[in-house]
Every structure is written in structure tokens, then in C-alpha cells.
A and B are shown apart, each in its own frame.
Chain A
Amino acid sequence: MLAGFLTLFTCQLAGEWLQRVLGLPLPGQVLGMFLLFILLCVRGALRDDAVPEGLSQGSQRLIELLPMLLMAPAAGVFFLGAGFADQWPGFIAAVSVGTVLTMIACGLLLKMLTRGRKQGHD
């Protein structure tokens, strides 16, 4: 698992370095994610399709931890202060109405695009 962490940290470090050198407007860890994805694709094409055991375990552990890692930043919503009071209507409308509209639009578009192809398992 520590070998997996080493891979993840190295990719993130490389991503942070690329971001600074190239002055990209993308976060370093997102670049790190792309780097790791490309590495896995290259490795898959040359040697072995399977994800290395350590990396598989390490990434699994971190992804399982996500709900906990997100709690503290989410708690911040309760501490936005009086300055945010007039922002709530827009905020609520965007996350509720916006999300429902997005699902309707995507569902209809994808249904139209896949018409005629064979149906997936129900």
C-alpha cells in the first residue's frame, strides 16, 4: 500500500511541477490524475493490463476516506456569516433546479444518440 502512496504522491508532485513550469490554470493534483491515467494506459499497452496491487490498495483506501475528508470543508457552509444571507435563493435554485434540468437534458440527449443500438441489461 505504501508503494501505491509513493506512486500517487510522485504523480501529484510531477503534476504540481508541470503546473508551475507551464503556468497552467489547472490544479496540480488534477494534472497528476491525468499523468497517472496516461502511465496506466502505457503500462497496460506494453506489459500488463492489471493495476499494480499496491496502487490498487492505496487508491482504494483514499477513495474510501473521501466522505470523511469532505466533512470539514462541508461544515464551512454553516459558518459563511451574514454576508452570505442574500445568496441562499440563488444557491438553492442552482443546486436543485439546475441539477434536475441537467439530468433531464442529458437523459434525453443520450437516449436520442443511442437509439437503434442494442439495449443494455435492464
Chain B
Amino acid sequence: MTELMHTPLFGLTLTLLAYQCAMWAYTRSGKMAMLHPTISGAVLIAVALKALQLDYFAYYQDINWLNFLLGPATVALAVPLYRQLPLLRELAGPLLVTLFFGATFACASALLLAWWLGATQETLLSLMTKSITTPIAITVTEEIGGITSVAVGSVILTGVAGITTISWLFERLDIRDDRLWGFCLGLAAHAIGTSRAFERSPVAGAFASLALCLTGAFTALFVPLAVSWFA
């Protein structure tokens, strides 16, 4: 049995099992943000690995071809982006200005806060991609030399922070237009924010997907260039 636990088959079975359990809990809880399958599934995998005394890095190697699918999945994001094209034209100016400002702000605020609290350069590099969708964040982080796990963790927790605060926050700021609501959530909280926006209204969801794709594209272009200039 011990040899079997070090095979890709075991790693994949464990991953699929964790996903099914996580999905079940998420649906049963009425889609609670804290139980998002990426979060709860990751916890289940970590618990299982600790309980079976398996090495995380060996497990990660075993399921390598699942990680391979992140590549084509990133390319696939071009399809929803293309579908949002007519929506973009309508508000193009304000949205683009907000995109440039917001994506830079998301990156800079994270860097300043973490630097001020004593984070190392490696951690800082892994935080630059916190507001973009994970497949893009992973590839950019690998490119600039950050820690992938920290990057993914920061992306997921950013999503949770976004969806748990936005309703309260935008109520106070008196922003009720679904287009603005969705765009800001998609910009700051990527895919997790986008799925939350679809729960509010289809318009909010469409604008969130738009912001998700644009922020991802902009950050993927800007971060590696900025790092190569400053580092």
C-alpha cells in the first residue's frame, strides 16, 4: 500500500475525492464564501497529506498533469473576454481608467502593507499577483521568482476578503449601479468575486468577468516588466 500512495493514481484519486467533498459542503452551505471549494478542498488535501504522512512536494509532482491543464485553461479565458466586448465599448473610457488605476493600486497597496510589516522580497514578489485570477497569477509568479503557494493563497484569501465585505462597503459608499458593483468586485477579487457578482445580477456578473479578464491581462503584462526594470 505504501508504494501505491506514491503513484499519480493515488494523488489524483485523493484530489478528486477532496474536490467532491468540498463541492458537497459548499453547495450544502448555500455557497458560503469561506467554504469555496478551492479553500475547503485545499484544507482537506493538507489534512489528508499530514494524516498519511505524505510529502507535499512529492504529491505535487504526482499530479503534475493536472497542473498542466492550467495552461490551456488560461488560454480559454479569451472566450468569455471576447463575449464581453460589446459591454466594454459602452463604458470603455471610465472602465479603462479604473482598470489601470485599480490594478496598479491593488498591487502597490499589497506591496506597501506587506513591506511595512517586514515581508521578505520573495513574499513581496508572491503578493504582486493577489488581485488576478489564479492561473495567470501562478504563471506570472513563476516567471518573476515568487513562491507559487503563497501567490495562490493570497489570491484565494483576497477573493474571500472581497466578497465578504463588498455589500456592506458599497452600501456605505452609495454605489448601487450593478455595472460599477460588478466591475470593482471582479477587479479586486477576480474569479471568486465574479461568481459572487453573478449571484447579484447577470449585469453585475458580466462586468465582473470583464474586469477579471482585463485585470489579469493588464497585470500579466505590467508585473513582469515592472519587476525586470526594478529588480
Interface residues of A (CB under 8 A from B): 5, 8-9, 11-12, 15, 25-30, 32-34, 36-37, 40-41, 44, 51, 55-56, 58-60, 62-63, 65-80, 84, 86-87, 89-111, 113-114, 117, 119-122
B interface secondary structure, majority: helix
Q: Can you name the residue of chain B whose Cβ is closest to the Cβ of A5?
A: B72
Interface residues of B (CB under 8 A from A): 15-16, 18-19, 22, 36-39, 41-43, 45-46, 49, 56-57, 59-60, 63, 66-67, 69-83, 85, 91, 93-95, 97-98, 101-102, 105-106, 109-111, 113-120, 123, 127, 130-131, 134-136, 138-140, 142-144, 147-150, 152-154, 156-158, 161-162, 165-166, 169-170, 173, 175-180, 183-185, 187-189, 191, 201, 203, 216-217, 220-221, 224-225, 227-228
A77 CB to closest chain B CB (Å) equals 4
Once the chains are docked, how many angstroms separate the CA of A102 from the CA of B109? 8
Say yes or no: A76 contacts B152, CB within 8 Å. Answer: yes
Q: Which of A26, A37, A68 contacts B41 (CB 8 A)?
A: A68
Say yes or no: B102 contacts A75, CB within 8 Å. Answer: no
A15 proximity list for chain B (CB < 8 A)? 75
